[in-house]
Structure 1
């Protein structure tokens, strides 16, 4: 009787700056891992993005028969880009070149993050990093979202929002010519202008010009000034963090029904329990919900989980 090696799955977490691949058995036991540069076709040319994803996958498959890989999931933000044949074709080509036995399904980063934080098939995921979005998950698939509109139209409570509020608070403080200056105000001036010497009116004009001369999304780089200052007891920064926590909780609640007891998974750089915003957000959500609060692990692990579930589906006996 011929020997059949157990089926394996491929999980990929693909972002604008890095791509990570995992090969695992259906129980989730990791057998291979690989990393590469950014592979999101929303941030890079499709051909280059696909090359990076292929590089990460090849590293993960090192020493493993690709014919054992029965399926896979690639998680990324902006999955709608893959509906464009010109974008999808380079990725389809690399799956064929890798010699996988099964297909690789593209999933939302929300679905992958949720799966990386809970075994439940249903609940809410809230992602807060450079931007912010909440999603309702049912049967491991995204069914509704709140937020995620980008820096111009939304992203409330995100790193961009924190940075913008920090600059606004600094300008308002300069308008009032406050002395001594709040620690957050001093930190913003030092980071953006290099110093805080000079008349308040001149500092204000220089700050406005400096901020307007760079890409708006770079305001997100100021977010650590807010969270660090809040952690050090700064009142102004604490107020910004408290408002951000409320806005993020509102975003999550928008996709939850009254009395919902399903889990909430938190993902993104701002949601860690050791972060003042993450701690405030957990307190805010716990006061509004009875569902379990979880933290997402690495996205590639969530992708592996979803790929294993796909193999267990009725269409994959």
Structure 2
């Protein structure tokens, strides 16, 4: 039986999917974090070995009761595809590929793909034979956009925008949404101080005050700017969980509140925040696109699939804000996908590639 392996390596978990030649998933497993930049090559290989071994348990008949070891001299997989967060350079790919080749006994070449995790989102291009291009968009805690074109069964990266992390970017992701929410609420407060009229109370502001246990919105400045792991909480409160979080998390954790205020409460202020973030992300996506033939590396939206991933993009109403902003710029996509299981989608796409 020909088996196809896909591994989605992230900062919080490792997801493994194994399918047969027909695209039927026959093995699954979840493991620990495997962001290559954060844990290094040795730990990365250890996590992969353990998690793939767990996934092979369910491929056995009857299922094994303990993780299956990967025999060094045996080739169990016809092909493997690794989508790895933290792999952003040819040097990183060059370092990982020999280790995975040795681990799985798959020769370095077309049957062993090592790439950034965004590439897994391009797998739907293999399920739509009438197209050969994909634009992948991750909008979770952070964000990144990448364009791909498939040639002779190989996905070639045509351009990348974002993925710089919360200090430098992550537009349209959770950190950006949380930051923009605080900025918009503070702006309403500042504008009221100039007009002399009290700022209108909004569901978004109410949710932010309740989240941080504050009575005055200006106290949020102290909360947001507290150093990481600060023990000096103002105003004092018993529950200090939100304050001992890193500053990045203090802001990105606000995004669910913004979504609730926007889509459950119908708060115009929260909707404006999400519109701002969606427009910014749409502008980054537009950088990868072309309306004519003046840029040979540009992708034409009407000839490709846009494939979303990440928790924020998983909210359909937010995806529609992004797509509407792109449509206003003249970019309407042939196909639209949301992938909540990149490992399974990648494994199925790998089987569909028809590697001989």
* Closer/same/farther in 2, CA of residues 209 and 295 from structure 1, 3 Å limit: closer
- SS of equivalent residue, structure 1 residue 126: strand
8 A contact 1:117–1:302 mirrored in 2 = no
Q: 1:167 to 1:118 in 2, by over 3 A?
A: farther
Aligned length: 301
Inter-partner Cα distance in structure 2 for 1:72 and 1:53: 12
Specify every segment of 5 or more residues in structure 1 that has no aligned partner in the other structure, as ranges: 1-5
Whether 2:168 is the aligned partner of 1:125: answer no
User: Alignment partner of 1:265: what SS?
Assistant: strand
Q: Is the 8 A contact 1:73 1:306 kept in 2?
A: no
Deviation at 1:238, TM superposition (A): 0.6
* Rounded Cα–Cα distance in structure 1 between residues aligned with 2:103 and 2:43: 15
RMSD of aligned Cα (Å): 2.9
- Deviation digits for residues 253-300 of structure 1 (CA, Å, limit 9, x no counterpart): 1101115212211221111353x3223223333443232222224111
Shift of 1:125: 1.4
Judged with a 3 Å threshold, the aligned counterparts in structure 2 of structure 1 residues 210 and 306 are, in CA distance, closer, same or farther, namely: same
What does residue range 19-168 of structure 1 map to in structure 2 within 5 Å? 19-62=14-57, 63-64=59-60, 67-80=75-88, 83-84=91-92, 88=96, 92-93=98-99, 96-97=102-103, 104-116=112-124, 119=127, 120-139=131-150, 140-168=155-183
How far is the alpha carbon of 1:237 from its aligned partner? 0.4
- Structure 1-normalised TM-score? 0.83
| Contact 1:163/1:222 (<8 A) preserved | yes
Please name the residue that 2:215 is paired with. 197
Q: Which runs of 5+ in 2 are unaligned?
A: 61-69, 231-244, 293-299
CA distance in 2, matches of 1:118, 1:104: 17
Corresponding position of 1:215: 246
Distance 1:224-1:185 versus aligned 2 partners, 3 A rule: same
Whether contact under 8 Å (2:124, 2:305) holds in the other structure is no
Counterpart for residue 3 of structure 1: none
For residues 4-32 of structure 1, give each alpha carbon's deviation from its aligned partner in whole angstroms, at most 9, with x where no partner exists.
xx321111111011111111123311111
Structure 1 partner of 2:9:
14
CA contact (8 A) 1:22 1:32 kept: yes
TM-score (norm 2): 0.74
Q: Deviations over 1:15-69 (max 9, x none)?
A: 0111111111233111111111111222224333322222220111125596341
| CA distance 1:183–1:304, shift in 2 (3 Å) | same
CA deviation map 1:132-191 (0-9, x unaligned): 121111112222112222222222111110011112223334444645532211211222
User: What residue is the counterpart of 2:66 in the other structure?
Assistant: none
1:181 alignment counterpart:
201
Contact 1:70 1:101 in 2 (8 A): no
Worse overlay, 36-45 or 221-230: 36-45
